[in-house]
Amino acid sequence: MQFDLRKFIVSGTKPYAAEFQCDLSAKDFAGARIEQPVTARFEAVPDGEEIRMTLRANALVHGECARCLDPVEREETVQAEWTVRERDLDDPDFDLPLNEKGHLDVDEWLCQGFMFQIPTVLLCSADCPGLCPRCGKKMAECTCPPAEAEAEPADARLAILKSLLN
């Protein structure tokens, strides 16, 4: 969705609100995905010399646990607020995705919001033990003896390294 922010700042007297669908399925969020279109709500409210904008959306995020590689689904919410003045539109360091005509790319703003909201490390649970480093099974299913039970390394040449750990 494109919003003509420059025009709204100059001539907007009434609040603007829109609900729209945004497809983020082609985006990669550090390995996580948003497979279904997201319904977002955008509002712009004039407040004297300023425009207060809000953007809200919920999405079901899919990924895999960083420890055990099980599928993970979790809901994430973006709630972004921004205040803009006309002089901000000409600032080269303006942080919102704005083109040269003064149109705000609300879809890109939403994408950036999810980029910051979705954790870079997804876990199926906070206490997930992960995978066994020897057999590769989940730690809950692993039947390997504990590391302390192994007296000697598999290769005698590595015994000196084991002594460094003690």
Q: What is the pLDDT of residue 65?
A: 94
What is the rounded distance in angstroms from the CA atom of residue 70 to the CA atom of residue 115?
22
Q: What is the pLDDT of residue 147?
A: 64
Mean pLDDT, consecutive 10-residue stretches, the chain (166 aa), reads 89 90 92 94 91 96 94 95 88 85 91 93 92 87 73 69 74
Q: What is the pLDDT of residue 162?
A: 74
Burial of 142 (0-12, 13-18, 19+ CB in 10 A): middle
Placement of tokens 């300023």 in the chain:
50
What is the rounded distance in angstroms from the CA atom of residue 16 to the CA atom of residue 144?
62
How many CA atoms are closer than 13 Å to the CA of 51, on its beta-carbon side? 27
Q: What is the pLDDT of residue 140?
A: 83
